[in-house]
Amino acid sequence: MKIKKYTAPNMWQALNQIKEELGPEALILQTKDIKEKGVPGIFKKRRVEVVAAVDEESYKVSESPWIEDLKNQLNRIDKNIRYFYKQTKYKDLSYLTTAGQKIYAHLLQQGVKKEIAQQLMKKMSNEINQEKINESTFIIDYLTAQMRGMMRTSGPIQLNLNEKHPKVVALVGPTGVGKTTTLAKLAAQFKIYENKKVALITLDTYRMGAVEQLKSYAQIMTLPLTVALTPQELKEALYKYRDKDLILIDTSGRSQFDKTHLFELKGFLQIIKSEIEVHLLLSLNNKLVDMLEMIKRFQILSPSSLLITKLDETMYYGDILNIAAEANEPFSYITTGQNVPEDIEVADVCKLSQLILDPANCFRI
């Protein structure tokens, strides 16, 4: 007989572990509640401990009728746990219809913060006729409109076509958010599709291969490129490209906690006398708490908008709404892959809302 001890946050999860590992023939020998070790009163969580056993050689359900009774009891426990979980999950939203509860669950699954999801549902309940709240399509339309009101966009980069100086745009952000590839996409959009005069400047000499990568893009698109190692070299490059429509500046990626680098980068950008547009890039596959910290730390560079990258690397878009609720900056662009120049779009509140409230996803719960 194989005997094994399992611990889990609740009985439901423990039973699932036992079923997966020992099979449906497993016997429950003992159950008890335990507390995790830790400082008294701090982060101590209750867990359940279950001892289970299985006779891998001789056990057969048909030979032990009382096992069927035990399995029936376990099934009833499982159903009770599921019922309790559902009641607890929606205890603050008892006013919601079944359709409303499904969509609320979808919002949470997408990563929308609980308090934001509850505010949306409560507002809907207060404003809309109860009969309408029974209709899933109506709920989705209502929430889409509400989300559109919560999110702001800046639109695409606007060139200074009626002025005598080029538009200067800098992409900033931590490591790994896709600054260089995004810069190449923007350059291609304006060079190829809008036939504008574009120049590239890079301040990124820290990352191995960064300059070479940008040089490759510049050669393919026949764009001028300058590497600026100092603020003075940046100033000279800007003067050299004074006849261009758009100057795109690539910056080195460093941790948001690297204050020295942030102040150094601020010194570069401050020498630009003409108005500069700073886009802070955030990768949606990062944790929300980290992205909010990035926004806070990069305020030293006065970003004018947020550019959300790597939407293709996640299936959960709720953090877009969470960021909109916390940040002051609007969204400018989103990127959806590695292809240059295709995988970039101007941020649109309709599209962003649909990503979060996709009806097809909503009813796969």
Helix (H, G, I), strand (E, B) or coil at 281: strand
Which pLDDT score is estimated for 186? 93
Cα dihedral 211, 215, 217, 223 in deg (nearest 10)? 130
Closest to 160 measured CA to CA, from 277, 333, 305, 271:
277
Tell the residue number behind the tokens 């909109």, with chain if given.
324
Question: What does residue 59 show for φ and ψ, rounded to 5 degrees?
Answer: -75, 130
Q: Where are the domains of the chain?
A: 2-89, 93-150, 167-347
Interatomic CA distance for residues 74 and 260, integer angstroms: 60
Which pLDDT score is estimated for 171? 93
DSSP 115-179: HHHHHHHHHHHHHS-TTGGG-HHHHHHHHHHHHHHH--B--SPPP-TTSSS-EEEEEE-STTS-H
β-partners of residue 266 are none
Helix (H, G, I), strand (E, B) or coil at 331: strand
CATH number of 167-347: 3.40.50.300
Interatomic CA distance for residues 42 and 134, integer angstroms: 43
10-residue averages of pLDDT along the chain (365 residues): 81 80 76 63 63 66 58 65 50 66 83 89 76 70 87 89 83 88 91 90 70 83 89 89 91 71 80 81 91 90 91 88 91 89 89 78 38
Question: How many helices (H) does the chain have, and how many strands (E)?
Answer: 13, 11
Which pLDDT score is estimated for 333? 94
